[in-house]
């Protein structure tokens, strides 16, 4: 018999946002009209932005030859 491979548990991170009172009321009304929760609406809205950039490497722009190096190691 083959053993089922157990999946690694997903780790969640907390992100806090601040919205105005008017924005909160608008979000609640939108959710009530759609029959869903604010968390699901926010996650659905930002999912396309979060899915495509997890493996992105950020490279520094090249420094020109005229740039002064104040804290150089040499």
Query: What's the domain range around 25?
Result: 21-48
Task: Establish if 71 belongs to a structural domain.
Answer: no
Look at 32 and 62; give whichever has higher pLDDT.
32
Domain count, the chain: 1
What is the structure's pLDDT at 64? 74
pTM across the whole model: 0.59
> Is the sign of the CA dihedral 25, 49, 51, 55 positive or negative?
negative
What is the structure's pLDDT at 1? 67
**Per-residue pLDDT tens for 4-50?**
888 999 999 999 999 999 999 999 999 999 999 999 999 999 998 88
Task: Establish if 11 belongs to a structural domain.
Answer: no
What is the structure's pLDDT at 24? 96
Please name the residue that has the structure tokens 């992105």: 56
Task: Establish if 36 belongs to a structural domain.
Answer: yes
What is the structure's pLDDT at 73? 59
């Amino acid at each position: 018999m083959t053993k089922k491979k157990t999946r690694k548990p997903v780790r969640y991170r907390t992100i806090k946002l601040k919205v105005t009172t008017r924005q909160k009321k608008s979000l609640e009304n939108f959710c009530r009209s759609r029959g869903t929760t604010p968390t699901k609406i926010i996650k659905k809205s930002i999912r396309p932005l979060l899915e495509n950039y997890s493996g992105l490497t950020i490279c520094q722009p090249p420094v020109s030859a005229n740039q002064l190096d104040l804290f150089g190691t040499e």
